[in-house]
Structure 1
Amino acid sequence: MRILVTNDDGIHGPGLKVLENIARTLSDDVWVVAPDVERSGAGHSLTLSHPLRYRHIEGRHYEVSGTPTDCVIMACRKIMPGMPDLLLSGVNRGQNIADDVTYSGTIAAAMEGTSLGIKSIAMSQVTGIHDNGLNFAVAAAHGAEIVKTLMKLEFGPGILVNVNFPDCRVADVAGTEITSQGKRDQNYLTVDERKDNRSEPYYWLGFTRDKGIPPAGTDLAAVFNRKISVTPLHMNLTQLSLMAKLKDAFKA
């Protein structure tokens, strides 16, 4: 089985080696193709306005001067000798739950894999909820088991799986929960205004750490309760319940 490993934290991202180790529990044919720098928040973006370059680092490790989506395309169309059977994206530094899904380059890489017909799984290590710091121990301990279980299943067309590991001690993990994508109940994006050395303003986008009160059954609630969240996502974003109303509204 050929496995493609990628991420959005970049080729030197701390979770990339964790994910490669997970992949190697399934196969020796593992290829690592990741952005040359951090591309967090890149979403499902392509690089179209300037050329891409890739560099061979060592063995089956490559870096690409583009987004996570670019990395998947370059890996499948240029770098690898053939299409992978499995794409693993992550392990991301920080959660990709609720509203994060549409911003995440980690999930976007899995989306691109799915669009190419590859079974694809995004994996993220939660931080900042239980104040356990940046620690990939839970992902390292449970990641291989999660992937092996998912490999037994047929996802179906247009479907990827989003996995988030809680930021607690391995001994405190309360199990695995199949969840739906949640929605944060507070405004979590912030704009921090600062001044440069000429007193000109510049801005950093950031996130609040408010925990909120998420509904049961969501990815948010699962990781708050120290559970591994496993969420099936679909590439088709059509909102079916509104279609009938729209058809009635636009009748000739």
Structure 2
Amino acid sequence: MRILLSNDDGYLAPGLVQLAASLAGLGEITVVAPERNRSGASNSLTLDRPLHLRRAENGFQYVTGTPSDCVHLAVTGVLPEQPDMVVSGINLGANMGDDTIYSGTVAAAMEGHLLGVPAIAISLASFAGKHFATAGRVASELVQRFTVQAFNFPVLLNVNVPDCPYDALRGIQVTRLGRRHKAEPAVKSVTPRGETVYWIGAAGPAADAGEGTDFYAVEQGWVSVTPLQIDLTHAGQMADVHQWIKPLNGHRSL
């Protein structure tokens, strides 16, 4: 089995090191990750400059670009054969609810999915980062499960693991994404040179975090597994928008 690993925390991140170690016995592991932390990069691709691919002393390869760049480059230009799976992580911090829109960890897995490769994004749901080994073991079990029984349809799984010892986990729940309140206001500051700068505000607290959501599962000590899809079409609004547009169809300027 050929497994491509990536992340958004950079090729030196302890979560990536743990992930590679946890999956080492399951197949041929290739690591292609960003050269530096690219958290929040979402699905951006670098189109205005060439990308450099280099190899670190530990064998990991790193790219001067985004998480999506890493997976796209690996699958379409570097690897001699398409990988059987892409696994992204282990992210330091949760990627739940609205976070998935911004997450570079999820984006790396999504890029694999877009290229026809089954993909998993895995995050340790705490910035304390005490139990990467727990998330690594969960990742290993999911990949092993895939080798025994692969899906017969394209799959993109978003996995969040409580930051606790493995034996303290209650199990795995299949969940939906929750929702957050809107983000905190941007933080305005002034540099020593008198320049006004801004920091993006913190994410808002969970708003939709009831039973069945990823927020609820992790809070209760469960591993959250959420299947994601790419289609952003709001099917429920199509009829309403059609009626809204209909009077304009006879307008000459259209």
TM-score, L = length of structure 1: 0.89
Percent identity for Structure 1 against Structure 2: 40
Distance of 1:14 and 1:56 partners within structure 2: 17
Q: Does the CA-based 8 Å contact 1:222-1:229 persist in structure 2?
A: yes
Comparing 159-168 and 207-216, the one that deviates more: 207-216
Distance of 2:99 and 2:152 partners within structure 1: 22
Q: Does the CA-based 8 Å contact 1:30-1:60 persist in structure 2?
A: no
Shift in Å, 1:155: 5.9
Task: Name the structure 2 match of 1:145.
Answer: 141
Comparing 37-46 and 147-156, the one that deviates more: 147-156
CA-atom RMSD, angstroms?
2.0
Structure 2 matches for 1:116-195, cutoff 5 A? 116-127=115-126, 133-135=128-130, 136-151=132-147, 152-154=149-151, 156-157=153-154, 159-184=155-180, 186-195=181-190
Distance of 1:244 and 1:221 partners within structure 2: 33
Shift in Å, 1:79: 2.0
Alpha-carbon spacing, 1:60–1:117, altered in 2? closer, same or farther (3 Å): farther
Task: Name the structure 1 match of 2:24.
Answer: 24
* 1:43 partner letter: S
Shift in Å, 1:167: 1.9
Distance of 2:9 and 2:185 partners within structure 1: 21
Shift in Å, 1:170: 2.8
Shift in Å, 1:199: 3.1
Distance of 1:142 and 1:195 partners within structure 2: 44
Task: Name the structure 1 match of 2:232.
Answer: 237
Distance of 1:78 and 1:239 partners within structure 2: 34
Segments ≥4 residues shifted beyond 4 Å: 208-213
* 1:13 partner letter: A
Bigger Rg, structure 1 or 2: 2
* 2:241 partner letter: L
Q: Secondary structure at 1:74's aligned position in 2?
A: helix
Q: Does the CA-based 8 Å contact 1:45-1:67 persist in structure 2?
A: yes
Comparing 47-56 and 196-205, the one that deviates more: 196-205
Alpha-carbon spacing, 1:64–1:140, altered in 2? closer, same or farther (3 Å): same
Task: Name the structure 1 match of 2:67.
Answer: 68
Shift in Å, 1:59: 6.8
* 1:162 partner letter: N
TM-score, L = length of structure 2: 0.89
Q: Secondary structure at 1:87's aligned position in 2?
A: strand
Task: Name the structure 1 match of 2:8.
Answer: 8
Q: Does the CA-based 8 Å contact 2:34-2:63 persist in structure 1?
A: yes
Comparing 87-96 and 17-26, the one that deviates more: 17-26
> Runs of 5+ in structure 2 lacking a partner?
250-254
Q: Does the CA-based 8 Å contact 1:8-1:105 persist in structure 2?
A: yes
Distance of 2:88 and 2:184 partners within structure 1: 24
Distance of 2:203 and 2:109 partners within structure 1: 26
Task: Name the structure 2 match of 1:92.
Answer: 91
* 2:113 partner letter: T
Shift in Å, 1:106: 0.7
